[in-house]
Protein backbone atom coordinates (compact mmCIF):
# COMPACT_ATOMS: atom_id res chain seq x y z
CA UNK A 1 0.00 0.00 0.00
CA UNK A 2 2.90 2.36 0.67
CA UNK A 3 4.14 1.81 -2.88
CA UNK A 4 1.40 4.05 -4.31
CA UNK A 5 2.92 7.15 -2.71
CA UNK A 6 6.41 6.04 -3.72
CA UNK A 7 5.42 5.37 -7.33
CA UNK A 8 2.86 8.06 -8.02
CA UNK A 9 2.69 11.78 -7.23
CA UNK A 10 -0.73 13.32 -8.00
CA UNK A 11 -0.29 17.06 -8.42
CA UNK A 12 -2.54 20.03 -9.04
CA UNK A 13 -1.04 23.00 -10.94
CA UNK A 14 -0.20 25.98 -8.76
CA UNK A 15 -2.65 28.87 -8.77
CA UNK A 16 -1.51 31.25 -11.49
CA UNK A 17 -4.19 33.92 -11.62
CA UNK A 18 -5.24 36.88 -9.43
CA UNK A 19 -1.72 38.29 -9.09
CA UNK A 20 -0.80 36.44 -5.93
CA UNK A 21 -4.05 37.19 -4.13
CA UNK A 22 -4.95 33.49 -3.88
CA UNK A 23 -2.94 30.98 -1.86
CA UNK A 24 -2.84 27.22 -2.37
CA UNK A 25 -0.96 25.10 0.21
CA UNK A 26 -0.55 21.35 0.63
CA UNK A 27 0.46 19.75 3.94
CA UNK A 28 1.50 16.17 4.64
CA UNK A 29 -0.60 14.24 7.15
CA UNK A 30 0.96 12.43 10.10
CA UNK A 31 3.50 9.85 8.91
CA UNK A 32 1.21 6.96 9.94
CA UNK A 33 -1.47 8.32 7.58
CA UNK A 34 0.76 8.92 4.58
CA UNK A 35 0.15 5.48 2.99
CA UNK A 36 -3.55 6.46 2.79
CA UNK A 37 -3.80 10.25 2.50
CA UNK A 38 -1.66 12.14 0.00
CA UNK A 39 -2.14 15.57 1.57
CA UNK A 40 -4.39 18.07 3.27
CA UNK A 41 -4.83 21.23 1.22
CA UNK A 42 -6.00 24.80 1.65
CA UNK A 43 -7.16 27.21 -1.08
CA UNK A 44 -7.98 30.73 0.10
CA UNK A 45 -8.08 34.37 -0.90
CA UNK A 46 -5.54 36.68 0.73
CA UNK A 47 -7.74 39.69 0.00
CA UNK A 48 -11.07 40.31 -1.73
CA UNK A 49 -10.76 39.74 -5.47
CA UNK A 50 -12.14 42.13 -8.08
CA UNK A 51 -13.71 39.26 -10.03
CA UNK A 52 -15.01 35.79 -9.10
CA UNK A 53 -12.26 33.17 -9.09
CA UNK A 54 -12.41 30.32 -11.58
CA UNK A 55 -10.56 27.36 -10.06
CA UNK A 56 -9.56 24.51 -12.35
CA UNK A 57 -8.98 21.01 -10.97
CA UNK A 58 -7.06 18.67 -13.28
CA UNK A 59 -7.44 14.89 -13.40
CA UNK A 60 -5.24 13.28 -10.74
CA UNK A 61 -6.70 9.82 -10.08
CA UNK A 62 -7.63 10.69 -6.48
CA UNK A 63 -10.78 11.22 -4.41
CA UNK A 64 -11.06 14.39 -2.29
CA UNK A 65 -13.16 15.58 0.61
CA UNK A 66 -13.55 19.38 0.66
CA UNK A 67 -15.54 22.21 2.24
CA UNK A 68 -15.60 25.97 2.79
CA UNK A 69 -14.15 26.70 6.23
CA UNK A 70 -16.68 29.50 6.72
CA UNK A 71 -19.51 27.03 6.15
CA UNK A 72 -18.27 23.56 7.20
CA UNK A 73 -21.81 22.18 7.45
CA UNK A 74 -21.77 21.97 3.65
CA UNK A 75 -19.06 19.42 2.88
CA UNK A 76 -18.49 17.38 -0.25
CA UNK A 77 -16.64 14.47 -1.79
CA UNK A 78 -15.27 14.59 -5.34
CA UNK A 79 -14.63 11.30 -7.12
CA UNK A 80 -12.20 10.16 -9.79
CA UNK A 81 -12.53 12.48 -12.79
CA UNK A 82 -11.49 11.65 -16.34
CA UNK A 83 -11.82 15.30 -17.32
CA UNK A 84 -10.73 18.57 -15.72
CA UNK A 85 -13.35 20.35 -13.58
CA UNK A 86 -13.92 24.08 -13.07
CA UNK A 87 -15.40 25.75 -10.00
CA UNK A 88 -16.50 29.40 -9.87
CA UNK A 89 -15.66 30.30 -6.27
CA UNK A 90 -16.60 33.95 -5.90
CA UNK A 91 -14.52 36.92 -4.65
CA UNK A 92 -13.57 35.55 -1.21
CA UNK A 93 -13.26 31.94 -0.05
CA UNK A 94 -11.36 29.60 2.25
CA UNK A 95 -11.53 25.99 1.10
CA UNK A 96 -9.98 23.03 2.90
CA UNK A 97 -9.63 19.47 1.63
CA UNK A 98 -8.25 15.97 2.09
CA UNK A 99 -6.78 14.18 -0.94
CA UNK A 100 -6.81 10.40 -0.62
CA UNK A 101 -4.34 8.28 -2.55
CA UNK A 102 -5.89 6.00 -5.22
CA UNK A 103 -7.89 3.05 -3.77
CA UNK A 104 -7.88 4.43 -0.21
CA UNK A 105 -11.23 6.22 0.04
CA UNK A 106 -13.19 3.07 -0.98
CA UNK A 107 -11.19 1.00 1.51
CA UNK A 108 -11.57 3.40 4.43
CA UNK A 109 -15.27 4.13 3.90
CA UNK A 110 -16.42 0.96 2.10
CA UNK A 111 -17.76 2.96 -0.84
CA UNK A 112 -17.71 1.87 -4.48
CA UNK A 113 -15.52 4.51 -6.14
CA UNK A 114 -17.42 4.29 -9.44
CA UNK A 115 -20.51 5.71 -7.72
CA UNK A 116 -18.59 8.98 -7.21
CA UNK A 117 -16.83 9.18 -10.56
CA UNK A 118 -16.91 12.42 -12.57
CA UNK A 119 -18.97 14.34 -10.02
CA UNK A 120 -19.06 15.69 -6.50
CA UNK A 121 -21.67 14.80 -3.89
CA UNK A 122 -22.72 16.00 -0.46
CA UNK A 123 -20.49 14.07 1.93
CA UNK A 124 -23.43 13.53 4.29
CA UNK A 125 -25.03 11.28 1.66
CA UNK A 126 -21.91 9.13 1.35
CA UNK A 127 -20.15 9.16 4.74
CA UNK A 128 -22.49 10.76 7.33
CA UNK A 129 -20.17 10.38 10.35
CA UNK A 130 -17.25 12.13 8.67
CA UNK A 131 -19.58 14.86 7.45
CA UNK A 132 -20.80 15.37 11.01
CA UNK A 133 -17.21 15.49 12.31
CA UNK A 134 -16.38 18.29 9.87
CA UNK A 135 -19.56 20.19 10.73
CA UNK A 136 -18.89 19.92 14.46
CA UNK A 137 -15.17 20.64 14.74
CA UNK A 138 -14.18 23.10 12.02
CA UNK A 139 -14.55 26.85 12.42
CA UNK A 140 -13.58 29.90 10.31
CA UNK A 141 -10.72 30.89 12.64
CA UNK A 142 -8.78 27.61 12.29
CA UNK A 143 -5.35 27.90 10.68
CA UNK A 144 -3.72 25.20 8.55
CA UNK A 145 -1.82 23.68 11.51
CA UNK A 146 -4.98 23.38 13.59
CA UNK A 147 -6.74 21.89 10.59
CA UNK A 148 -3.95 19.31 10.22
CA UNK A 149 -4.20 18.38 13.91
CA UNK A 150 -7.96 17.86 13.68
CA UNK A 151 -7.67 15.71 10.56
CA UNK A 152 -4.70 13.72 11.91
CA UNK A 153 -6.53 12.89 15.13
CA UNK A 154 -9.74 11.92 13.34
CA UNK A 155 -8.24 9.80 10.57
CA UNK A 156 -5.73 8.08 12.88
CA UNK A 157 -8.62 6.87 15.02
CA UNK A 158 -10.74 5.93 12.01
CA UNK A 159 -8.06 4.06 10.08
CA UNK A 160 -6.90 2.13 13.15
CA UNK A 161 -10.27 0.35 13.11
CA UNK A 162 -10.23 -0.58 9.41
CA UNK A 163 -9.45 -4.10 8.22
CA UNK A 164 -7.94 -3.32 4.85
CA UNK A 165 -8.52 -5.74 2.00
CA UNK A 166 -5.08 -5.51 0.44
CA UNK A 167 -6.03 -7.24 -2.81
CA UNK A 168 -2.65 -7.97 -4.36
CA UNK A 169 -4.19 -8.07 -7.84
CA UNK A 170 -5.27 -4.42 -7.89
CA UNK A 171 -2.06 -3.20 -6.25
CA UNK A 172 0.13 -5.20 -8.60
CA UNK A 173 -1.75 -3.72 -11.56
CA UNK A 174 -1.39 -0.18 -10.17
CA UNK A 175 2.34 -0.77 -9.60
CA UNK A 176 2.81 -1.92 -13.19
CA UNK A 177 0.95 1.14 -14.49
CA UNK A 178 2.92 3.54 -12.28
CA UNK A 179 6.29 1.94 -13.03
CA UNK A 180 5.56 2.34 -16.75
CA UNK A 181 4.38 5.95 -16.28
CA UNK A 182 0.99 4.96 -17.69
CA UNK A 183 2.49 4.04 -21.08
CA UNK A 184 1.57 0.40 -21.68
CA UNK A 185 -0.88 -1.98 -23.30
CA UNK A 186 -3.40 -2.83 -20.58
CA UNK A 187 -4.37 -6.27 -21.90
CA UNK A 188 -0.82 -7.42 -22.73
CA UNK A 189 1.33 -5.74 -20.08
CA UNK A 190 -0.78 -6.21 -16.94
CA UNK A 191 -0.53 -9.83 -15.87
CA UNK A 192 -2.09 -10.28 -12.45
CA UNK A 193 -3.58 -13.71 -13.02
CA UNK A 194 -7.14 -12.49 -13.57
CA UNK A 195 -9.29 -11.81 -16.62
CA UNK A 196 -9.73 -8.40 -18.23
CA UNK A 197 -13.31 -8.41 -16.96
CA UNK A 198 -12.24 -9.05 -13.34
CA UNK A 199 -9.56 -6.36 -13.62
CA UNK A 200 -12.16 -3.88 -14.87
CA UNK A 201 -14.43 -4.70 -11.91
CA UNK A 202 -11.60 -4.17 -9.40
CA UNK A 203 -10.58 -0.85 -10.93
CA UNK A 204 -14.17 0.37 -11.02
CA UNK A 205 -14.59 -0.34 -7.31
CA UNK A 206 -11.20 0.82 -5.99
CA UNK A 207 -10.30 3.59 -8.47
CA UNK A 208 -13.59 4.65 -10.04
CA UNK A 209 -12.85 3.89 -13.70
CA UNK A 210 -11.07 1.36 -15.91
CA UNK A 211 -7.39 0.45 -15.80
CA UNK A 212 -7.03 2.08 -19.23
CA UNK A 213 -8.46 5.41 -18.06
CA UNK A 214 -6.39 5.33 -14.88
CA UNK A 215 -3.22 4.66 -16.91
CA UNK A 216 -4.04 7.67 -19.12
CA UNK A 217 -4.35 9.86 -16.01
CA UNK A 218 -1.05 8.49 -14.67
CA UNK A 219 0.64 9.29 -17.98
CA UNK A 220 -0.82 12.82 -17.90
CA UNK A 221 0.31 13.32 -14.29
CA UNK A 222 3.82 12.16 -15.18
CA UNK A 223 3.92 14.81 -17.90
CA UNK A 224 2.94 17.47 -15.35
CA UNK A 225 5.62 16.23 -12.95
CA UNK A 226 8.27 16.20 -15.68
CA UNK A 227 7.62 19.86 -16.65
CA UNK A 228 8.75 19.48 -20.27
CA UNK A 229 11.14 22.07 -21.63
CA UNK A 230 10.14 24.78 -24.07
CA UNK A 231 12.54 23.20 -26.55
CA UNK A 232 10.75 19.86 -26.32
CA UNK A 233 7.43 21.61 -26.97
CA UNK A 234 8.82 23.63 -29.90
CA UNK A 235 10.38 20.61 -31.54
CA UNK A 236 7.09 18.74 -31.06
CA UNK A 237 8.77 15.63 -29.73
CA UNK A 238 7.05 15.55 -26.37
CA UNK A 239 4.26 13.25 -27.57
CA UNK A 240 6.85 10.69 -28.74
CA UNK A 241 8.63 10.83 -25.39
CA UNK A 242 5.46 9.89 -23.48
CA UNK A 243 4.30 7.10 -25.77
CA UNK A 244 1.95 8.81 -28.24
CA UNK A 245 2.26 8.15 -31.96
CA UNK A 246 0.16 11.10 -33.02
CA UNK A 247 0.56 14.67 -31.82
CA UNK A 248 -3.10 15.54 -32.36
CA UNK A 249 -4.21 12.66 -30.11
CA UNK A 250 -1.70 13.74 -27.45
CA UNK A 251 -2.93 17.35 -27.45
CA UNK A 252 -6.59 16.28 -27.38
CA UNK A 253 -6.05 13.97 -24.39
CA UNK A 254 -3.95 16.55 -22.54
CA UNK A 255 -6.62 19.24 -23.02
CA UNK A 256 -9.27 16.84 -21.73
CA UNK A 257 -7.36 16.27 -18.48
CA UNK A 258 -5.90 19.76 -18.06
CA UNK A 259 -8.31 22.20 -19.71
CA UNK A 260 -5.62 23.68 -21.96
CA UNK A 261 -2.85 22.68 -24.35
CA UNK A 262 0.68 21.63 -23.30
CA UNK A 263 1.78 25.05 -24.52
CA UNK A 264 -0.70 26.70 -22.13
CA UNK A 265 0.51 24.50 -19.29
CA UNK A 266 4.26 24.83 -19.70
CA UNK A 267 4.75 27.95 -21.83
CA UNK A 268 6.36 28.14 -25.25
Which residues in the chain show pLDDT less than 50?
Answer: 2, 18
How much is the pLDDT for 19? 56
φ, ψ dihedrals at 240, nearest 5°: -70, -40
**Rounded Cα–Cα distance for residues 268 and 234 (Å):** 7
DSSP conformation class of 250? H
132-135: list long-range contacts, CB under 8 Å, 24+ apart: 134/65, 134/67, 134/72, 134/75, 135/72, 135/73, 135/75
* Predicted model pTM: 0.92
Q: Whole-angstrom distance between the N-terminal and C-terminal Cα of the chain?
A: 38
φ, ψ dihedrals at 87, nearest 5°: -125, 130
Q: Decide if 260 contacts 16 (C-beta within 8 A).
A: no
**Among the listed residues 129, 118, 80, the one whose alpha carbon sits nearest the alpha carbon of residue 100:** 80
Q: Any idea where the domains of the chain sit in the sequence?
A: 3-159, 168-266
How much is the pLDDT for 191? 79
DSSP conformation class of 102? T
Return the CATH number of the domain spanning residue range 168-266: 1.10.10.60
pLDDT tens figures, 176-185 = 999 888 888 8
How much is the pLDDT for 221? 93
Amino acid sequence: MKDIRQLYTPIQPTVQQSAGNVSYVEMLPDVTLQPFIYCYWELKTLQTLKDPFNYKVVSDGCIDIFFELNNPCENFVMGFCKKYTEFLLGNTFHYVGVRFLPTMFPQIFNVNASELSNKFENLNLIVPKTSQFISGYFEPNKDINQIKQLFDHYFTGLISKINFNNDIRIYKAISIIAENSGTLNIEKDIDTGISVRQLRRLFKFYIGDTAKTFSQVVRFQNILNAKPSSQSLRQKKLFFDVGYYDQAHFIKEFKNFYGGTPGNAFGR
